[in-house]
Amino acid sequence: MSPDAAATGQVAWSEGDLEDRLRAVADTRYHDRHPFNVRMHKGELRPGELRRWIVNRFHYQRHIPVKDAHILAKFDTPGLRRTWLRRIQDHDGSRDGEGGIERWLRLGEAAGIERERLDSGADVLPGVRLAVDGYVNFCRLRPLLDAVAASLTELSAPGLMRTRIEAFERHYPWIAADGLTYFRTRIGQGGRDGGEALALVKAWARTREQQERVVAALAFKCDVLWSLLDAVERGGAGGDGAAGVAGGAS
């Protein structure tokens, strides 16, 4: 029996059991089940609601390379740093006019939101700022294992991107097709990133305490994404909110 098992009375899960538990969290708590996303994919959002989501989700998107920089700084080998650096480049690009952040700005433009307005962050809701700050600080302050595990929502991202592309093409034809490039790109990137992070977590989480921590970290990240959508959904109480006004008639 390992020292961990002797001390706690709990035997570590096998790698297969750990993966099953992680995928169960992703399957049951991922934000594709949130009522706002469900309405989005059914084509039930008004233009102002969709613009409000684009504006507030962009606040999350632009902080992805920030949280990844915090994770990158925790790695102690060049190989792992190079692997994680690619995630930052995926979003920031190798030069101006490239990367996921640029593609999200183009999504906003395709939806009728001025780039300068979207980039300013003026319409970001307080609840969204709080959720995003919580995730960035989690990756900054928690151990490397926990921070990497929190990124495992990527396991569910490819399926969500496919659903979203189909929904936008079917229900929101007023958004130009080239505005959906971000979603198309993330199908491949998300699958790759999720697989890499899962391999690291399975290799590093050897004790039961570590394994329970990584499951909790993934649950926390699911809560961050869910809370973001809670704020977006409530942000339109009494109207479509500032983002809808910024994007034009709704």
What are 215-224's pLDDT values in tens digits?
A: 999 999 999 9
Low-confidence ranges of the chain (pLDDT < 70): 1-9, 236-250
158 in Cβ contact with 190 (< 8 Å): yes
Residues in contact with 8: Cβ distance below 8 Å, sequence separation at least 6, in sequence order: 208, 209
How confident is the model at residue 108, as a pLDDT?
Answer: 98
196 in the Ramachandran plot: left (φ > 0), alpha (ψ -120 to 50) or beta?
Answer: alpha
**CATH second-level architecture of 12-235?**
Up-down Bundle (1.20)
Alpha-carbon span 115 to 96, nearest angstrom: 15
21 in Cβ contact with 216 (< 8 Å): no
How confident is the model at residue 8, as a pLDDT?
Answer: 54
Alpha-carbon span 221 to 132, nearest angstrom: 10
Q: How many CB atoms lie within 10 A of CB 94?
A: 9
Q: Which residue has the tokens 């920030």?
A: 66
How confident is the model at residue 244, as a pLDDT?
Answer: 47
How confident is the model at residue 227, as a pLDDT?
Answer: 98
How confident is the model at residue 9, as a pLDDT?
Answer: 66
Domain parsing of the chain, residue ranges: 12-235
Alpha-carbon span 104 to 131, nearest angstrom: 19
How confident is the model at residue 1, as a pLDDT?
Answer: 39
Whole-structure pTM value: 0.91
